[in-house]
Amino acid sequence: MSKQGSSFKDVLQNIFAVSAILIAFIIAYILFTQVMGNPVNFEGGNHHGTPLEHNYLGIIYKGGFIVPILMTCVLVLIIFIFERIITLSRAKGKGQINAFVHQLQTLLAEDKIEEAMEACDKQKGSLANVMRAGLLRYRDLQNDKDLEKDQKILSIQQSFEEATALELPMLSKNMVMFSTLASISVLIGLIGTVLGMIRAFAALAQSGAPDALALATGISEALVNTAFGITGSTLAIIAFNYFSTQIDSYTFKIDEAGFSLTQNFAASLKSSK
């Protein structure tokens, strides 16, 4: 893959991230104003009034302007969860990875390089791409009479590492979104909580009888923002840990296959002497 191709993919990823955030915000704003803020959710048909009993849409609406921002965080999280699922599914290719690695090890042990490359073409995953690059170099080096044994082993290791370096960024792309959302969801929710408590205490501080509506609104704002912030952060942490585990497992499989390739190549050099 050329540097220009890599840069183009980075630009597309950035466009995707920005578009996802904008789309999520538009959806969140429409849901907040048109669904949760619908007058039918409030007493007297006025969204400035008290939410109807057990009407959670109206209660969420009373969370204030911070709520659509938190909803945006949750929707962005959902978008990137689907993006990761699709990307990692494509990276795994067809069939079981363990079976594919075992098949390659068997073919390499029998020196069936062409058959191994055909298996990589059929598998079509990141591991297959890395192994195919190594196998191409494998056959070239077997026929090379100029390089010493150590130079050949070093060359095939370098070829494998270069191919791996091109594939791994795709696996970990956008993972930073999960760690970022896990942090900012709590902080944004905390801002909404503080604003709600300020409103609640302001209602209590009024001379005479406290404004019950303002007090209830302030408490609702505080609790709703707290709930959304914690929910978004929890989901982001779970997603980050899950996908990190998947990526680590896949990286281990790539390293395992590369080690087998190098070991088989070294063994073939010894047997050829």
pLDDT of residue 7: 61
Most confident range (mean pLDDT) of 61-65, 134-138, 201-205, 266-270 is 61-65
pLDDT digit string, tens, across residues 34-70 = 998 898 888 888 877 778 877 888 888 888 889 999 9
Those residues with Cβ within 8 angstroms of residue 208's Cβ, 6 or more apart along the chain or in another chain: none
Nearest to 37 by CA among 14, 23, 57: 57
pLDDT digit string, tens, across residues 174-231 = 888 999 999 999 999 999 888 888 877 777 776 556 667 677 767 777 888 888 899 9
- Domain assignment of residue 80, given as a range: 3-272
pLDDT of residue 1: 47
Q: How many domains does the chain divide into? A: 1
Nearest to 201 by CA among 217, 190, 224: 217
Phi, psi at 206, each rounded to 5°: -65, 145
pLDDT of residue 182: 93
Model pTM? Answer: 0.80
Phi/psi zone of residue 90: left (φ > 0), alpha (ψ -120 to 50 degrees), beta?
Answer: alpha
pLDDT of residue 44: 81
